[in-house]
Homo-oligomer: A and B are copies of this chain.
Amino acid sequence: MPTRLHRLGLLLAALVAAVGAGARTPVDLLITNGRILTMNPARAVIEGGAVAIQGERIVAVGPGTLAADYAPARTIDARGGIVMPGMVNAHTHLAMTVFRGLGDDVPDRLRRFIFPLERNFVTRDVVRAGTLLGLLELIEGGVTTFADMYYFEDEVARATREAGLRAVLGQTIVNFPAPDAPEPHGGLALAREFIAAYRNDPLITPAFAPHAPYTVDRAILRQVAEASAALDAPVLIHLAEMTDEVATLRRDHHQTPVEYLDAIGLLNRRLVAAHCIFVTESDLTLLRDRGAGVAHALVANLKSAKGVAPALRMFEQGVRIGLATDGPMSGNTLDIIGQLGYVAKVHKLDRKDRNVMPAATVVEMATLGGARALHLEDRIGSLEPGKLADVVIVDTESTALVPLYDPYSALVYAASPRDVRTTIVHGRILMEDRVVRTLDAPAVKAGMRALATRINAALAGGLK
């Protein structure tokens, strides 16, 4: 029985290696000397700690002495750095980087700029180019998991696989002809195909993405609810974002947007609702009790002058709430570090209380909170043995991070996404010392610049 013999041989080899290394357990990767923000149940911070990673999983997190127990194939010395769970961007539209910076500071942007730009320019190739740039920015900014909804979402998935990020990806369904579906609501069929193709992917969770209650008919929303339940697939949606959305549902259904989705059967543990600016206290209870996730896109909501979602109240009430950038036409950047300061400060102003939304809470929302919003908290969101190895190292050499009395304060009030040094997803190093390994950064940027030149030339001729 050569197979049994072979196994025995492997076991003996491993044993010899372990003895040779002083009985140390072999691991693929050991991160040492970091200031570790575990985000574990005790929210422990470990100075000079170590994280051991085997395959795609974290096997140990602890003090520096831990390192002696392991024989790592690779070691990353995180000296001076903050080691933290990868951040979660709970709502974005990566491909829209192609339009970043177009139509800022103008009214009724969605209908005057975004939809026409998409009608004119969005093709499969453009989605790929925009997504690659967005993925690059996510990796460079320490985002390890994101939720995206757009057209040609299978193309987003392909690029995401190449980049090595974790994602919940939703194929858009909307009641007008879309770049990838000439028939209204054609995205529903595309979403079914997409979900079938990716349902067992280790990194990608395929989803339905009905655009919003005001852009998808009620009957279609109900079909989405049924399909989501049958396939156990997530649903991503924009919710309670617009004042006219609220007014119309009030008038036609005597319901808040949250109640409307609940009546349809969409408010459940598969839903991730972006924005939720206009929610009542009883909406919060519903969101919490149904287990729906909320993506708080504060910077985008400020820029659009829509309002401040009651994110602090949601957090206090136990709603699954994470942070999000929205698309780069709305919030311009895709990293989560850029959101932290806004979340801490604008909610203090909103409550007229400088004690609320302390830095540690904001970092929790950016990591474990985002994992909860995407219903992935059993797998990611903290540095604990058994969780998937999505880890970020933030450098603290920048002048603004000196001195460093409190790592949470430093991250929230002074760090820049440019301070992220190393990004690890599913045990794989995607960026080390600012060099992204899975994408050709210069080529991705050059491709985008060429595309922007073409779009600029077309814009000079006027939008259709």
Contact = CB atoms under 8 A, between A and B. Distances in A.
Contact of A354 (B105, B136, B332, B410): B105
B332 A402 contact: no
B406 A104 contact: yes
A429 interface: no
Given A416-B418, A418-B416, A305 B402 contact: no
A457 interface: no
A305 B109 contact: no
Interface string A81-101: 000000000000000011011
Interface in A228-253: none
B452 A101 contact: no
A302 B349 contact: yes
A445 B400 CA distance: 10
A190 to B, nearest CB: 27
Interface residues of A, number: 66
A414 interface: yes
From A334, A418, A452, name the one whose CB has the most chain B CB atoms within 10 angstroms. Answer: A418
Contact of A417 (B136, B351, B400, B451): B400
Given A413-B333, A418-B418, A451-B403, A349 B307 contact: yes
Given A414-B101, A416-B417, A402 B345 contact: no
A77 B157 CA distance: 40
A87 to B, nearest CB: 15
Contacts of A353: 107, 305
A448 B404 CA distance: 10
Given A354-B109, A414-B101, A417-B416, A332 B404 contact: no
Contacts of A409: 101, 104-105, 332
Contacts of A307: 349
A383 interface: no
Contacts of A105: 344, 354-355, 357-359, 409
Nearest to A419: B418
A346 interface: yes
Given A354-B304, A405-B452, A452-B405, A400 B332 contact: yes
B448 A402 contact: yes
Nearest to A304: B354
Contacts of A358: 104-105
A254 interface: no
A445 B402 contact: yes
Given A405-B101, A418-B416, A456-B405, A133 B305 contact: no
A299 interface: yes
A352 B406 contact: no
Contacts of A305: 348-349, 351-354
A440 to B, nearest CB: 13
Interface in A399-442: 399-400, 402-406, 409-410, 413-414, 416-419, 441
Contacts of A346: 302, 346
Contact of A398 (B109, B352, B410, B418): B418
Given A359-B105, A414-B333, A302 B405 contact: no
A303 B332 CA distance: 23
A342 B404 CA distance: 24
Nearest to A441: B399
Contacts of A219: none
B403 A303 contact: no
A308 interface: yes
Among all A-B residue pairs, the 6 with the closest Cβ atoms:
A403-B452, A332-B413, A302-B345, A105-B358, A418-B418, A101-B409
Given A104-B413, A303-B344, 13 more contacts: A100-B405, A133-B402, A137-B400, A302-B345, A302-B348, A303-B413, A305-B351, A305-B354, A332-B400, A399-B441, A399-B445, A402-B449, A405-B452
7 contacts: A98-B403, A104-B406, A105-B357, A105-B358, A333-B414, A402-B448, A416-B416
